[in-house]
Amino acid sequence: MNEKERMLAGLMYDATDKELEKERFAAEELYFKFNNLPPSKNEEKLEILKQLFGKIGKNSYIRSTLYCDYGYNIEIGDNFYANHNLTILDCAKVKFGDNVFIAPNCGFYCAGHPIDAQERNTLVEYAKPITVGNNVWIGADVCVMPGVTIGDNTVIGAGSVITRDIPANVVAAGAPCRVIREITEADKSDYFNVLETLYDGGK
């Protein structure tokens, strides 16, 4: 089993492997081009994303700047929107469903490192996949950690650090992120209730 196969299998692998370095460099070349094109070149930017990602759905839009490790492990559904400074460390699969909204400065981090310093200094690491369901809204400055799944229709408050799975149909926030309440029919007509819940911590 080579290092790429170990990475994709969730095993410890050598991140300095030459083939992996080559693939990261190729991704960096693509997102550098993407980040430096003007907004008026939207069709060219989309073509770069098609080359970079494993999948990108229709009517999807990502604002500069974008950063990723490999790109080919990223799958994006339809009607996806990401604001400035999206970072995806896709050492494992990162899947986004349809109608996902991501605010500025969010990160999705599949990579993890050993706790033991001596082992960590050998530059081995591991990766766990991240899955974001359909109709998810993620607020600004959110960190999504390795192995996390976020369920359909869920809202994540700004500044959250998500270290464990978040179920569908809830409002969740905090560091670490926790479920504040379920989303109900009342939210269809009470938009500001959602905002108050996010900003007062559910009190």
Q: In the numeric block, which tokens belong to residue 2?
A: 């080579």
Whether 84 is a known active-site residue: answer no
- Report the C-alpha gap between 143 and 96 in whole angstroms: 15
Is residue 128 within 8 A of residue 156, CB to CB? The reply is no
DSSP states along 75-92: EE-TT-EE-S-EEEE-SS
Is residue 4 within 8 A of residue 11, CB to CB? The reply is no
Q: Is 37 left (phi over 0), alpha (psi -120 to 50) or beta?
A: beta
Q: Which of 63, 93, 113, 128 is catalytic?
A: 113
Greatest alpha-carbon span in the chain: 55
- Report the C-alpha gap between 13 and 4 in whole angstroms: 8
Q: Is 51 left (phi over 0), alpha (psi -120 to 50) or beta?
A: alpha
Q: In the numeric block, which tokens belong to residue 154?
A: 């869920």
81 DSSP β-pair partners: 61, 101
Query: Active-site positions?
Result: 113
